[in-house]
Amino acid sequence: MKSELCASLLAANHAYIARDVLEAEARGIKRFHIDVTDGHYTEELTFGVHLVKDLRRETKAILDVHLAVFNMSAILGTFLESGADQITIQYESCELPQRMLALLQKHRITTAISFIPATGFDRIEYFLDEADIISILGVDPGIGGQSFMPKVLDKIEKAASAISRRGLQTRIAVDGGLTVNNCRSIADAGADILVMGSSIFAGASIADNVKSLLGVR
């Protein structure tokens, strides 16, 4: 299994985010996921553009900003010059996803589009050649600590099969509910990027957590 680990900052210590990012980076994590939620599309109100700008000065790692928000066009604009390497738009809250993806491409930002568990594969399949990364959520967005929904594995497998069959370079990210116990089966289903929060930042030390995950991978 050669899937890439991505650390979700929702599970980090919010009083010491830069410290946790640098610790995880020192242990081999090269990609960080920043959930931006607005308190409307999701119940939680989380990170904003200033955090992205500040982290850009602290790390050269890949910063993936996930916009799980309403009013996508207005909010997306504030992140275009933030230093984000990748911006993930939320399909279900975005009125014109193709327009948003085209804007990101214009700004040379890696494009990703995310789908909640209840969204069928037919919607995902349409975007396989529209974005650099397809993000399949294993939980409902905006709330940390949820358990991965096993039925999502079928969508991962279908996406991986379609990408291979069509000769695309699109990568699959899986976000939400990933643990040391299920990450191998998720990777085996076809996930290229494993977005993990509590499994990296909670419990034991970050160093021990990453070591355990790398051992499973």
Beta bridge partners of 31: 62
Q: Which residues contact 181 (CB under 8 A, 6 or more apart)?
A: none
What is the residue type of 76?
A: L
Distance separating alpha carbons of residues 212 and 36, to the nearest angstrom? 28
35 is catalytic: yes
Say which residue the tokens 């090269």 belong to.
30
Give the pair of three-digit tokens for residue 120.
Answer: 């069928």
Distances (CA, A) of 193 to 71, 74, 91, 170: 27, 28, 19, 11
Q: Which is nearest to 198 in space by CA: 20, 1, 49?
A: 20
| 154 belongs to the catalytic site | no
> Which position among 20, 35, 38, 64 bears the catalytic label?
35
Contact 20, 13 (CB under 8 A): yes
Nearest one of 48, 93, 58 to 73, comparing CA atoms: 93
Given 175, 188, 192, 208, the catalytic residue: 175
d(CA 69, CA 73): 10
Which amino acids are annotated catalytic? 35, 175
